[in-house]
Chains A and B, each alone.
Chain A
Amino acid sequence: MDTSCNLLLLLMFLHYAVGFTNSCVKILPDSSSNIVLEVGKDFTATCHLLEGSDYTSDDIEWISENGSIPKQSYRRINETAVSVTVNIDSDLNGWLKCRAAKQSLSFVPPCVYGISLHAGYPPLKPTNLSCIAVQEDKDISPNLNCSWDPGSRNPLIDTTYTVYANVLGTFQKHKAECNQHLARSCVVNLETFPIHMILKVWVEVKNALGSEQSELQNDSSYFAKPNPPLNVQVLAEVNIPTSLMVTWKHPIDRTIMKLSYAIRYRKAASDVWIEVPESFTRGYIESFRLQSLEPYTEYVVQMRCIGESKSSYWSDWSLSVTNSTAEAKPASAPDLWRIIQPTANNRNVTLIWKDPVKANGKILSYNLSINQGYKMFESPSIKANTHSQMYSMELPPGKMANIEITAFNSVGASPKASLFIPGSDKELPGVEDMSWSVLDGKPEPKLQVKWTAVLPPRPTLHLSEYLLEWVKITQSVHQTELQVGWQRVPKNLTITTLNADLEKFKRYNISVYPIYKNHSGHRLFQAGRPVTRPAYIQQGTPIEGPTVKVKKSKKNSAELTWDEIPLDSQRGFITNYTIFYAIGNTKQWKSVTVDPNVHSHVLTDLASETDYVVNVLVSTEAGSFKGTDCTFKTMKYGDGEVEVIVVVVCLGFLFLTVFIIMFCLRKREVIKKMLWPQVPDPSDSSIAHWSPDFPIKADLPKEDVSVVEVDVFDGKSLCEEEKGVLPLKKDKYLSEEHSSGIGGSSCMSSPRHSVSDSDEGDSGQTTSSTVQYSTVLGSGYKGQTPSHQPPAFARSESTQPLLDCEEHPDHLNESQSRSSYFRRGRELEPGVLAPECDGGSLTFCPVQEEEVSPVTEEPPASALSYMPQKSGYRPQ
């Protein structure tokens, strides 16, 4: 069932398809292939309705590739035919269709018929047709290569180019087809190249729209291109130094093509060819002599040939053949110059020279003739050597010299060259000024030098010429050879270009000398004073940077110095130095630019005690190069600050010292007492021997006196009670006061009335028992009013022997000169122990403690020294 349905659908499709393509119209003109039309022309096609068609002419529509063609282009011929006229343009390629269809709805299938159009141009006539057949071996090649200009217009359609060749008189026509698009050349094979026959060649270009042709007809030799002359040789003629003989062989037999030749030659050092006039080489010759050449000069010779009467193409030039003419006597003098280098007492003159311009041979030797002060000095003969064409001599400053030089080659001697060197004080004037500039020449730039003209100072002197000298300045230790060059310039010029091969980035000293000619007597050539300027042919970036050093670093500034970089590293004129500096690694660079002649600089406004990085950039007009970094640190203190501080401190210390000394001097007694307290000399003890005239009171400051109030209950001092009891006590107390430091007790805590431990030693003499002292601390000190507190008694453990009572000085009547020591053994009186105290409250009196009663009770010796206290402190 499905298969039958599919078959039915296929049949319906085929029916529709057949009905659709079944045409009821036809177009005239019609063609089974493309209809080629010329661009720009009008084309008319007519659509005819076939018999039996249901359509009328109104139902016909023309359709091109661009869509429906407007009705205005239609022309109704009759009921069944409608024509259309279209203008052909280059885009009109494709179908032109005629369609017949009802405008309204209809079941009648539409009819369509089409023709294929192809637009194009007819071919253009080829121009500039030329054909060439090159020589192969001894014959001309049968392959004729023809070329032409097909024109620039694209024909748009298939176009063929055919080349024909025919030898007149023969029936054979050779042909070659070139089917390339816009072919320009083609090779036609003639099988055998005709000789001495008329050859006709033509190229025919053809396409569907037409054909064109161009032709050539000439003797066959006109199509031939012979090979260059064979075996070209150039021979020098020994006896004729201005001539060279050129020989060659004919490249092709003269029966085939009779040739004439062309010769050209040039100096090997030149690029300019000189061609021998053709009239000189006309004829079937195989040799020619080149004349008027320069002796001992290398020449390059080439040859070519052409058919007689220019009846063929020129051959290519032959390979270059080189040979030199023979030597002749030098025709010009050597170029002599000198370099004068003044020394301490002399002049070092270096004579330098160049070969004669017209050496005409290899210079074998030079003969120098040197006259100093009109006398023949020496006449050396120097073997020619291009590496050392110089001669040095010493010339005193006051002497003049005349030098002559002659060059010799194998044939003869050259004319003489002379140079006069005057005394140092007789130099002739030089040019006033000179300047230089660089010309951007190709391939290398050139140095142009300009100077002011100079006038001869004397009538007998004439300006002969100028001489420009250039000397390479180098600091290289390896390059000791004097690199100097010079160039002579006619006197009427004041500007010229140096013909020197100056090295880039190297400094040269350019000097201009006027050369004078003296006509008095001999003809002497003498140079004037030079004017010299340094110059570079091309400046470059320095290849080395300055090494900066910090000469002096201060608190806010630093002095930098650097050396000029070596001349060879400068590679140009230094325009400036730029100093870059920054704090540590901050990279915040500051810069200072200084002149090229400055090699030190002080950086200011620096921060104190800060690390800085500094480098110096050296610049030329071509670029810059940075030197190595240098690090330095600014000082913490400025200039003199340290000195001021030191001085102030020293002065302060000095003043302090002086003050202390003064103080010590003034208070020497106090200090003495403090440092060296009076140690009672037991031998001088007042106990044994005491004189009361010791002035104690006056020296004792009040504050050193401790007031011991005892018997506060009855309000009387112990001293008052004891006053007048024993004068011995007064001295004892006084001496006790001086010995207060001993035994580690201060005056406050000193045992005012104690028995020293030292008395232990004396105990054998005075007492056999140790007496304990008690410090009696009063309630007031230094004027402080003691309260009504019961007095405290501190028991002293001191073993200081109880010597004396510290008594108020007011109560002492003895003179100060008296010894404070007293001899216990001699002056001690038994039963006199109580100190003599005045009634002052601040008196300090030795008190026998009641607590030491055991002591008092013990040996009788002690009882002899001290008054026993049985009832404690006695009321005052």
Chain B
Amino acid sequence: MNCHVRNMVCLSQRSQAKFRIIILILILIAVELVHPTMPCKHENCSQVLHRSLKLTKSMAKRSAEILETYKTSQGDSADLICDMQMDNVPVSTISGQTMSERILSVYTHLKEFLPHMKTVMEQQKDLNPPTNLVVEGLHSMITHVHHIALRVNCILQILQPNIPIPEPAERPTGIPPAQNIFQQKAYGCIVLSRLQELLSQAVQEQKSLKGKLCRKRNKDQFLMN
């Protein structure tokens, strides 16, 4: 009997151990699926921050150039339409108290802007010849903003490695279903303006991380060792 009981206990323990291993493997697979190839592990902290900052700076500058190009292509009423209020466009304000929260806010905003940029690009393709400077600039800008988001994600991973990073919704939340041309022009200008503001703030936020992020990281690593 003892033996039976012991065997049952042993079997029970073995099955629990196997279960845990399987669960762990599944979790790892899920994590890997969510983040299939993260660039973060190929670079150190300072490289991540340095390149992210440079990329963000570059795109902030370029977004300003695109905005100028956009305004130029819209004519004299560009300033007027750019000052319009439009609630559907995400705001560029960075929120949060802590460094992580603000970087997360940057990351979230960047993600939110991507579908709006795509919409503007599509609208500009319809409004203007398919190959114009605004469309071309937006096309590359979308890619680069996506890359910035990846970089900021890495920073977030450095800042809070144990907390999963919440992903924003796939679809944009405020894109109007139908707009006339005027509304499209205003919409595009507002998106580009706010994107430029966002990127500029993102630069500032990342600059503020200089001397803090990687030192903290190194300190953590030192403590862990």
Contacts and interface: CB of A to CB of B under 8 A. Distances in A.
Given A139-B140, A194-B147, A197-B39, A253 B61 contact: yes
A195 B147 contact: yes
Contacts of A169: 37-40, 147, 150, 153-154
Given A192-B139, A194-B143, A168 B54 contact: no
A270 interface: no
B102 interface: no
Contacts of B36: 171
B150 A170 contact: yes
A255 interface: yes
Contacts of B51: 196-197, 219
- Going nearest first, the 10 A-B pairs with the smallest beta carbon separation are A255-B58, A196-B51, A192-B143, A168-B39, A169-B150, A196-B55, A192-B140, A169-B39, A255-B57, A198-B39
B43 A198 contact: yes
B42 A217 contact: yes
B144 interface: yes
Interface of A: 139, 166-171, 191-192, 194-198, 217, 219, 253, 255-256, 258
Nearest to A166: B37
B144 A192 contact: yes
Nearest to A168: B39
Contacts of B151: 196-197
Contacts of A196: 51-52, 54-55, 58, 147, 151
B61 A168 contact: no
Interface string B22-53: 00000000000000111110110000000110
A195 B50 CA distance: 12
Interface in B173-224: none
Contacts of A170: 37, 146-147, 150
A215 to B, nearest CB: 13
A504 B92 CA distance: 83
Interface of B: 36-40, 42-43, 51-52, 54-55, 57-58, 61, 139-140, 143-144, 146-147, 150-151, 153-154
B58 A253 contact: yes
A255 to B, nearest CB: 3
Given A168-B42, A192-B144, A253-B61, A197 B55 contact: yes
A241 B39 CA distance: 54
A168 B147 CA distance: 9
29 contacts: A168-B39, A169-B38, A169-B40, A169-B150, A169-B153, A169-B154, A170-B37, A170-B150, A171-B36, A191-B143, A192-B139, A192-B140, A192-B143, A195-B55, A195-B58, A195-B147, A196-B51, A196-B147, A196-B151, A197-B147, A198-B39, A198-B42, A198-B43, A217-B42, A253-B58, A253-B61, A255-B55, A256-B58, A258-B54
Given A168-B38, A196-B55, A219-B51, 17 more contacts: A167-B39, A167-B147, A168-B42, A169-B40, A169-B150, A170-B37, A170-B146, A191-B143, A192-B139, A194-B147, A196-B51, A196-B58, A196-B151, A197-B55, A198-B43, A253-B58, A253-B61
A818 B52 CA distance: 178
Nearest to B47: A219
Nearest to B141: A192
Contacts, number: 62
A255 B54 contact: yes
A724 to B, nearest CB: 180
Given A196-B51, A198-B43, A255 B147 contact: no
A217 B39 CA distance: 11
Contacts of A255: 54-55, 57-58, 61
Contacts of A192: 139-140, 143-144
Contacts of A198: 39, 42-43
A219 B147 CA distance: 13
A169 B52 CA distance: 13
A583 to B, nearest CB: 94
Contacts of A197: 39, 51, 55, 147, 150-151
A258 B139 CA distance: 23
A819 B3 CA distance: 220
A197 to B, nearest CB: 5
Contacts of B58: 195-196, 253, 255-256
A751 to B, nearest CB: 159
Contacts of A219: 51
Contacts of B140: 139, 192
A194 B57 CA distance: 14
A194 B39 CA distance: 13
Nearest to A190: B143
Contacts of A217: 42
Nearest to A200: B37
A195 B144 contact: yes
A258 to B, nearest CB: 8
Contacts of A256: 58
Nearest to A221: B51
Contacts of B52: 196
Contacts of A258: 54
A195 B52 CA distance: 10
> Max chain A CB contacts within 10 Å: which of B37, B40, B154?
B37
A219 B42 CA distance: 10
A219 B37 CA distance: 15
Which among B61, B143, B150 has the greatest number of chain A C-beta atoms within 10 A? B143
A167 B144 CA distance: 11
Among A170, A197, A258, chain B packs the most CB atoms within 10 A around the CB of A197
A256 B42 CA distance: 20
B139 to A, nearest CB: 7
A139 B40 CA distance: 25
B41 to A, nearest CB: 9
A593 B42 CA distance: 91
Nearest to A256: B58
Contacts of A253: 58, 61
Nearest to B149: A169
A840 to B, nearest CB: 169
A428 B43 CA distance: 83
A168 B55 contact: no
A258 B38 CA distance: 25
Contacts of B38: 168-169
B145 to A, nearest CB: 11
Nearest to A217: B42
Contacts of B43: 198
A255 B62 CA distance: 10
Nearest to A258: B54
Contacts of A171: 36
A859 to B, nearest CB: 172
A169 B42 CA distance: 11
B224 to A, nearest CB: 25
Nearest to A191: B143
Contacts of B153: 169
A415 to B, nearest CB: 58
Contacts of B146: 170
Contacts of B147: 167, 169-170, 194-197
Most buried by A among B38, B39, B52: B39
A508 to B, nearest CB: 69
A43 B139 CA distance: 55
A510 to B, nearest CB: 69
A197 B38 CA distance: 11
A265 to B, nearest CB: 32
A192 B59 CA distance: 13
A818 B43 CA distance: 178
A169 B38 CA distance: 4
A219 B44 CA distance: 13
A170 B38 CA distance: 8
A192 B147 CA distance: 11
A837 B58 CA distance: 180
Contacts of B40: 169
Contacts of B154: 169
Contacts of A195: 54-55, 58, 144, 147
Contacts of B143: 191-192, 194
